[in-house]
Amino acid sequence: MNLARLAAERAETGHPVTAALIGAGKFGSMFLSQVPTIAGLRVSAIADLDPERARAACRAVGWSEERIAATAFVEDGRALAARDDVEVIIEATGDPRAGIAHAQAAIAGGKHVVMVNVEADVLAGPALARAAREAGTVYSMAYGDQPALVAEMVDWARATGFRVAAAGKGTKYLPAYHTVTPDEVWDHYGLTAEEAARAGMNPKMFNSFLDGTKSAIEMVAIANACGLDVPDQGLSFPPCGVDDLAHVLRPRAVGGQLDRSGMVETISSLERDGRPVYRDLRWGVYVVLEAPNDYAAACFRQYGLPTDSTGRFAAMYKPFHLIGLELSVSVLSAALRREPTGMAREMRGTVASVAKRGLKAGEMLDGEGGYTVWGKAQPIAKAADALPIGLAHGLRLRRDVAAGEVLTLADVELDGDPVLDLYRSCQRGATR
């Protein structure tokens, strides 16, 4: 509750919190747009494969030429770890392999890391968090993105003595979306390919949101950070509006749709026949609480909190998230409080690669949001040998794979990969 004051005090000393950004895309640009109005925070360096594009992004969000001139622009994100004018490094590339390498370099250089790159976090987050602790630095989820917002709500619920029955987010979902390719994605967003291109929208990225992969990645990140379970059969995306959260997202034993209490789940803003859900939560996040005793349940009723039919389950939700516009909360928290805004703690789940169509031996996989595979959230114990979606890019298949089949690590040419070794180390930690 006092981050703004702590940051203002740093400003008064003439030594603002200094941050560096890797990846000046949409998320990074939203963060950059807020920096000039935050006392006590300065971006000293930006890394992007195209530094001129990064400068253009700064101009587009309203930075002055003076501020741009005072900022270093580089191509190599790992170089930021050696800079004396950087306290916090923000990894916002979306590339899991690059994200892991950048985080490792930052931690080795004594920098705090804010990991916007959820793809990297679900592959190696527990290992990176452990390395940061050992180095005396902070490894953090990115506030404003849904996993960190959910982690905050779960922490609030537990700190106030409630049990967490479920936690997650909303999205637009229909079962047919799992096989959508980048060629078809804009039809579902009501755009033409030309309109999307003019707006700088990446078809693979937006397809990842549509085909269920991004939801799987974010739910696994939440499970790993909050000690929640991934559904045994993967996310079911039940249609659900905010008024029905406590009714739908409770265990089946009491009339809900969860395997058991303490699960992650994504809810759909569409009924299965395509009709919009009433009062949907497409852009928001939620937590479903269970009263720990009769007295607390009675207080729910007395103070007007909507509950399920038993009176013991209730929901809290936030109807929106502002992604990069809120990212400074993580940066300031890491630097001023040395506290993460959510952090991977154990490997509770993984995101398995599932064939979108029949695939042939010798074909190359094209990863998240592409033409070949989509990502399905799975409990880590059930999917120990599954090929994680974060590794399923640029790999050649060793055998034919049927549509809908989960790919395994043995199905691809992936030998001597250090990222696989890091992923395996997180798996071993989960099963000890």
- What is the average pLDDT across 195-221? 91
- What is the average pLDDT across 131-149? 98
The residue type at 258? L
Q: Write down the pLDDT at residue 318.
A: 97
97: in domain? yes
**Residue 429 scores a pLDDT above 90:** no
pLDDT digits (tens, 9 = 90+) for 143-173: 999 999 999 999 999 999 999 999 999 999 9
Q: What are the angstrom distances between the C-alpha of 250 and each of 53, 149, 261, 288?
A: 47, 21, 7, 8
- The CATH number for 365's domain is 3.90.1210.10
Residue 54 φ/ψ region, left for φ over 0, alpha for ψ in the -120 to 50 degree band, beta for the rest:
alpha
pLDDT digits (tens, 9 = 90+) for 62-120: 999 999 999 999 999 999 999 999 999 999 999 999 999 999 999 999 999 999 999 99
Whether residue 333 sits in one domain with residue 252: no
d(CA 97, CA 255): 42
Q: Write down the pLDDT at residue 129.
A: 97
**Residue 199 scores a pLDDT above 80:** no
423: in domain? yes
> Residue 290 — pLDDT band, cuts 50, 70, 90?
very high
200: in domain? no
pLDDT digits (tens, 9 = 90+) for 15-63: 999 999 999 999 999 999 999 999 999 999 999 999 999 999 999 999 9
Whether residue 269 sits in one domain with residue 156: yes
CB-based contacts of 17, cutoff 8 Å, min separation 6: 7, 10, 40, 41, 42, 87, 88, 331, 332, 335, 336
Q: How many domains does the chain have?
A: 3
189: in domain? no
Q: Write down the pLDDT at residue 71.
A: 98
Residues 232 and 225 sit within 8 Å (Cβ to Cβ): no
Which single residue is written with the structure tokens 């009675």? 298
> Residue 430 — pLDDT band, cuts 50, 70, 90?
low
pLDDT digits (tens, 9 = 90+) for 90-101: 999 999 999 999
pLDDT digits (tens, 9 = 90+) for 225-273: 999 999 999 999 999 999 999 999 999 999 999 999 999 999 999 999 9
> Residue 379 — pLDDT band, cuts 50, 70, 90?
very high
pTM: 0.96
342: in domain? no
Structure tokens at 374: 């989509």
- What is the average pLDDT across 357-380? 97
Report the percentage of the chain scoring pLDDT > 70. 99
Domain range for 394 is: 349-431
Whether residue 228 sits in one domain with residue 155: yes
Whether residue 115 sits in one domain with residue 95: yes
CA 227-232-234 angle, to 5 degrees, is 95
Whether residue 37 sits in one domain with residue 134: yes
CB atoms within 10 A of CB 168: 28
> Residue 196 — pLDDT band, cuts 50, 70, 90?
confident
CB-based contacts of 213, cutoff 8 Å, min separation 6: 351, 368, 369, 374, 375, 389
- What is the average pLDDT across 384-400? 95
44: in domain? yes
Residue after which a domain boundary falls, among 303, 337, 371: 337
63: in domain? yes
In terms of residues, how long is the chain?
432
Whether residue 293 sits in one domain with residue 388: no
Whether residue 267 sits in one domain with residue 313: yes
**Residue 391 scores a pLDDT above 70:** yes
How many separate helices (H) and strands (E) can be counted in the chain? 15, 14
Query: Lowest-pLDDT range, 1-10, 191-200, 272-281?
Result: 191-200
- What is the average pLDDT across 282-297? 97
**Residue 195 scores a pLDDT above 90:** no
Whether residue 72 sits in one domain with residue 112: yes
69: in domain? yes
d(CA 368, CA 370): 6
Whether residue 11 sits in one domain with residue 127: yes
pLDDT digits (tens, 9 = 90+) for 313-340: 999 999 999 999 999 999 999 999 999 9
> Residue 201 — pLDDT band, cuts 50, 70, 90?
confident
Q: Write down the pLDDT at residue 432.
A: 43
Q: Write down the pLDDT at residue 431.
A: 47
Whether residue 141 sits in one domain with residue 12: yes
Structure tokens at 91: 């990894």
Whether residue 44 sits in one domain with residue 13: yes
Whether residue 164 sits in one domain with residue 140: no
* DSSP of 115-137: E--HHHHHHHHHHHHHHHHHHT-
- The CATH number for 117's domain is 3.40.50.720
**Residue 210 scores a pLDDT above 70:** yes
